[in-house]
Amino acid sequence: MNDPAHKIPHNALEIAIGRQVRRYRIQQGLTVADLARVAGISNGMLSKIENGQISPSLSSLTSVASALNVPVTALFRQFEETREATFVRAGQGLNIERQGTRAGHQYQLLGHSSGNQPMMEPYIVTLSEESDVFPIFQHEGIEFIYVLSGKVGYRHANKTYLMNPGDSLYFDSDAPHGPEELIELPIRLLTVISRKAEP
């Protein structure tokens, strides 16, 4: 891909290390001069490290890490972290079958995360038929619902909320919940479910 926006800077590692050094320095309330003095390097050298302008030697990084009282590997952490993004064009979400999927209920997954991070599942839910009204979803985590179009009576635990376009509901999804009354079809909901990642 020749898109310049997708090119990784040739000094990406140096930039990532510099940001970590600056972050730790600021967190500890140190000036550039303070940290440089304790690390035994010049102010100019430290400034270049923080700005990603040089490739510091391992001995220099070890001195800086020691002065900051962090392991030297901590300075590489930002570079090693995986940064993910999922881009979905309008109408191109993944149609999936999930718990509770029944006639008239379409779930379109808009993105997902991987690895040991909290799971967040954003969906566009379309309710297009008056059959299968059931406030019986129940799962761990929390949920956020935003009404894009239509009108629905949405039950959570022992209360039903009359929801119009622009209304939202944020709740503990361990309690029984779901659309109880489909008042004005079709109904489109932006639903975000969040729960802990599997160990």
pLDDT tens, residue by residue, 122-181: 888 888 876 566 657 888 888 888 999 999 999 998 999 999 999 999 999 888 898 989
Q: List CB contacts of 180: < 8 A, sequence separation 6 or more.
A: 133, 135, 153, 154, 155, 160
Mean pLDDT of the chain: 79
Q: What percent of the chain has pLDDT over 70?
A: 70
Nearest to 21 by CA among 89, 57, 88, 68: 68
The CATH code of domain 4-80 reads 1.10.260.40
**Greater model confidence, 56 or 5:** 56
Q: Strand, coil or helix: what is 147? A: strand
| CA terminus-to-terminus distance, the chain | 35
Domain span(s) for CATH 1.10.260.40 in the chain = 4-80
Q: What is the pTM of this model?
A: 0.52
Continuous H helices in 8-57: 12-27, 32-39, 43-50
**Greater model confidence, 105 or 71:** 71
Q: How far apart are CA 39 and CA 82, in angstroms?
A: 30
Q: How far apart are CA 181 and CA 196, in angstroms?
A: 30
To the question of domain 94-195 being in CATH 2.60.120.10, the answer is: yes
pLDDT tens, residue by residue, 49-64: 999 898 888 888 889 9
